[in-house]
Structure 1
Amino acid sequence: MNGFEKRSQQKMQAIKKASFALLNQPTGVAGLRMDTVAKEAGVSKATIFKYFHSKEGLIQQVFMDYLDAIAVEAMTFLNQEKPFEEKLMALAQVKIVHLEKVDQQFFIDLMNQYSQKTDPELAAKMQNYNQRYCEVMTELLQQGRKEGKIDLKYSDEFIMLYLGGIVQGVSDPTIYPKINIHYTEYWAEMLLKALAPSSKK
Structure 2
Amino acid sequence: MNDTRNGFEKRAQRIKDKIMRTTLDMLRTSDPKRIRIADISKMAKVSQVTIYNYFGSKEALMREVFIGYIDKAIAEFIEFMDGHHTLKEKIEYIIFLEKEAYSDLPPGTIKDLVEEDPELAAYIEKVYREYTAPLVTRIIEEGKASGEISPDMPVENVLAFIQLYMNQYQAILAMAAQTPDREKFLEGMVHMFFYGICGKE
What is the RMSD computed on CA atoms of the aligned residues?
Answer: 3.2
Structure-1 residue corresponding to 2:63: 60
State the structure with bigger RCO (CA 8 A, min sep 6), 1 or 2: 1
One-letter code aligned to 1:20: L
- Change in Cα spacing, 1:61 to 1:177, as seen in structure 2 (3 Å) is farther
Once residues 59 and 162 of structure 2 are traced to their aligned partners in structure 1, the CA distance between those partners, rounded to angstroms, is 29
Once residues 133 and 96 of structure 2 are traced to their aligned partners in structure 1, the CA distance between those partners, rounded to angstroms, is 19
- Change in Cα spacing, 1:101 to 1:147, as seen in structure 2 (3 Å) is same
Q: TM (normalized to structure 1)?
A: 0.74
- Change in Cα spacing, 1:93 to 1:35, as seen in structure 2 (3 Å) is same
Structure-2 residue corresponding to 1:22: 26
One-letter code aligned to 1:31: R
- Indicate if the aligned counterparts of 2:32 and 2:112 stay in contact, CA closer than 8 A: no
Residue ranges of structure 2 left out of the alignment (5+ in a row) = 178-184
Question: Percent identical across equivalent pairs?
Answer: 23
Deviations 1:93-129 (A, max 9, x none): 6532332234xxx321202334x3x744223201112
Residue ranges of structure 1 left out of the alignment (5+ in a row) = none
- Indicate if the aligned counterparts of 2:19 and 2:40 stay in contact, CA closer than 8 A: yes
Q: Which residues in structure 2 correspond to 1:17-96 (within 5 Å)?
A: 17-25=21-29, 27-91=30-94, 95-96=98-99
Once residues 189 and 7 of structure 1 are traced to their aligned partners in structure 2, the CA distance between those partners, rounded to angstroms, is 50
Once residues 104 and 36 of structure 2 are traced to their aligned partners in structure 1, the CA distance between those partners, rounded to angstroms, is 22
One-letter code aligned to 2:113: Q
Total equivalences in the alignment? 185
Deviations 1:17-59 (A, max 9, x none): 111111122x421221111101221222222222222211222
- Secondary structure of 1:180's counterpart equals helix
Q: Which residues in structure 2 correspond to 1:4-15 (within 5 Å)?
A: 4-15=8-19
Q: Which residues in structure 2 correspond to 1:103-142 (within 5 Å)?
A: 106-114=106-114, 116=115, 119-131=117-129, 132-142=131-141
One-letter code aligned to 1:107: P
- Indicate if the aligned counterparts of 1:15 and 1:48 stay in contact, CA closer than 8 A: yes
Larger radius of gyration between Structure 1 and Structure 2:
2
Q: TM (normalized to structure 2)?
A: 0.74
